[in-house]
C-alpha cells in the first residue's frame, strides 16, 4: 500500500457517514511499509484468567518492531491485560493465570527459565496515572540504571540528559533536576515517567492509556513524542481514545468484549475499511 497525501484527503472527503472523520497517520518513509517490519512480540493463543473470569480470549498477534501499535476497544475487553502479559506484570496479581504463549524475540516469556525481572529490564512501561517516585527528577530517571547495576558503567549525568531529551522534558527541567518529581505538572510527570522508562534503553515501551489522565495540551505533547519514540523503540499503546490511535499508530488492534482480538491491521485500514462489522460499529460509535 503506497502512501501519498491524497490518502488523507480521501478519508476526509469520504461521504461514508459510517466512518469517523480522522487524520490517519501517514508513514513518511514509504519504503518501510508496515508489513515488512520484523516481529518483536508475538502472542499465540494467549488467554488470561482472573480466577474464573476470562479476560483475554485466545489472542494471536504479531507486533512489529519499531512501530507504534495501538490497542483499542471498549472498557474491560482485555487491552490492559494483554499489555501486562507482555512484561509479566500480571504475575503480581495472585488471581491471574495464563494459557498459551507469548514470545519476545522468539522466546516464550512464560517458560520456566525466564526471569520476569530480567524481562522487565528490557521492556519499559508507562502507566495511566503518572507515578513518578517520590525522589528528585534526576533520581527518577537514574533509577533504572542504578537498579540494573549500570550506574558505575555509564555516565549517569549524560544518560539522564539523553533520556530527558528523548522524553522532550530536558529543556523544562534541566535547571531543577534536584527537585522532587512530584512537583511537576501532570503532563510533565508523565513525560518524566517516559524518560525513566527509556533511560535503560529498553526494546519495547508499553503504554497503558498514557494520556487519559492529562489535559489536551499535555496529551498532544506526548502524542508527538510517541511518534519519535518509535524510531528507537517499539511502542505498544493501549488507548480508548480512537482518534488518538488513528493519529499516532501504524497498526491498530481492536479488542472487543470477552477479551477477543477482532481485528489487527494497518491503522488506515482499520479505520477506513475494517474487515469486521463489529469493528466498524465500534468505530462509528454504535457502542463502546
- CB of 5 or CB of 216, closer to other proteins: 216
Residues 6 or more apart whose Cβ sits within 8 Å of residue 60 = 43, 44, 45, 46, 261
Strands 107-108 and 251-256, sheet pairing: unpaired
* Contact characters 148-167, other proteins, x per CB under 8 A: xx------------------
Smallest gap from residue 195 Cβ to other proteins (A): 12
Sites for other proteins among residues 241-280 (CB under 8 A): none
First to last CA, the chain: 30
* Among the residue ranges 7-15, 62-70, 167-175, 252-260, the one whose residues contact other proteins (CB under 8 A): 62-70
- CB of 152 or CB of 175, closer to other proteins: 152
Distance of CA 215 to CAs 16, 191, 229, 231, Å? 31, 13, 21, 26
User: Quick check: 181 and 136 in contact, CB under 8 A?
Assistant: yes
- CB of 64 or CB of 166, closer to other proteins: 64
Distance of CA 29 to the CA centre of its chain: 21
Which residues in 51-147 belong to E strands, given as ranges? 53-64, 68-72, 96-104, 107-108, 123-126
- Determine if 120 is a binding residue for other proteins (CB under 8 A): yes
- Determine if 106 is a binding residue for other proteins (CB under 8 A): yes
- Determine if 119 is a binding residue for other proteins (CB under 8 A): yes
CB crowding 124-157: b at 16 or more within 10 Å, else e: bbbbbebebeeebbbbbbbbbbeeeebeeebebe
- Determine if 35 is a binding residue for other proteins (CB under 8 A): yes
Nearest to 180 by CA among 136, 143, 130: 136
- Determine if 183 is a binding residue for other proteins (CB under 8 A): yes
* Among the residue ranges 33-41, 46-54, 220-228, 255-263, the one whose residues contact other proteins (CB under 8 A): 33-41
- CB of 120 or CB of 247, closer to other proteins: 120
User: Quick check: 260 and 58 in contact, CB under 8 A?
Assistant: yes
Nearest to 250 by CA among 69, 46, 30, 24: 69
* Among the residue ranges 73-81, 86-94, 160-168, 278-286, the one whose residues contact other proteins (CB under 8 A): 86-94
- CB of 19 or CB of 213, closer to other proteins: 213
Nearest to 198 by CA among 157, 153, 161: 161
- Determine if 227 is a binding residue for other proteins (CB under 8 A): no
Q: Which of residues 40, 102, 256, 270 is near other proteins by CB under 8 A?
A: 40
Record the cell numbers describing residue 151, joined without a space. 550506574
Q: Which of residues 49, 50, 133, 170 is near other proteins by CB under 8 A?
A: 133
Q: What are the residues binding other proteins (CB under 8 A)?
A: 35-40, 42, 62, 64-65, 87, 89, 92, 103-107, 109, 113-115, 117-122, 124-125, 127-135, 143-144, 146-149, 180, 182-183, 189, 193, 196-197, 200, 212-213
Amino acid at each position: 500500500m503506497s502512501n501519498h497525501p491524497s490518502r488523507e484527503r480521501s478519508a476526509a472527503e469520504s461521504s461514508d457517514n459510517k466512518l469517523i472523520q480522522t487524520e490517519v497517520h501517514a508513514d513518511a518513509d514509504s519504503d518501510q511499509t508496515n508489513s515488512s517490519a520484523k516481529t518483536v512480540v508475538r502472542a499465540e493463543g494467549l488467554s488470561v484468567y482472573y480466577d474464573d473470569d476470562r479476560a483475554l480470549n485466545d489472542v494471536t498477534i504479531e507486533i512489529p518492531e519499531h512501530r507504534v501499535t495501538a490497542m483499542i476497544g471498549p472498557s474491560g475487553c482485555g487491552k490492559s491485560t494483554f499489555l501486562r502479559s507482555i512484561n509479566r506484570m500480571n504475575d503480581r496479581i495472585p488471581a491471574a493465570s495464563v494459557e498459551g504463549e507469548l514470545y519476545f524475540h522468539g522466546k516464550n516469556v512464560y517458560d520456566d527459565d525466564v526471569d520476569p525481572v530480567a524481562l522487565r529490564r528490557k521492556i519499559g512501561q508507562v502507566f495511566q496515572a503518572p507515578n513518578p517516585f517520590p525522589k528528585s527528577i534526576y533520581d527518577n530517571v537514574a533509577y533504572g540504571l542504578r537498579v540494573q547495576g549500570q550506574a558505575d558503567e555509564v555516565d549517569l549525568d549524560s544518560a539522564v540528559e539523553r533520556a530527558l531529551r528523548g522524553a522532550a522534558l530536558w529543556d523544562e527541567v534541566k535547571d531543577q533536576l534536584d527537585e522532587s518529581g512530584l512537583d511537576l505538572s501532570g503532563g510533565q510527570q508523565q513525560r518524566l515517567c517516559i524518560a525513566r522508562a527509556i533511560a535503560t534503553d529498553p526494546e519495547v515501551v508499553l503504554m497503558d492509556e498514557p494520556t487519559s489522565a492529562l489535559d489536551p495540551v499535555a496529551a498532544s505533547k506526548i502524542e508527538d513524542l510517541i511518534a519519535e519514540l518509535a524510531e528507537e523503540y517499539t511502542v505498544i499503546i493501549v488507548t480508548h481514545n480512537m482518534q488518538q490511535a488513528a493519529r499516532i499508530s501504524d497498526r491498530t488492534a481492536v479488542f472487543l468484549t470477552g477479551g477477543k482480538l477482532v481485528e489487527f491491521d494497518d491503522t488506515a485500514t482499520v479505520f477506513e475499511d475494517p474487515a469486521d462489522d463489529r469493528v466498524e460499529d465500534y468505530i462509528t460509535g454504535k457502542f463502546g
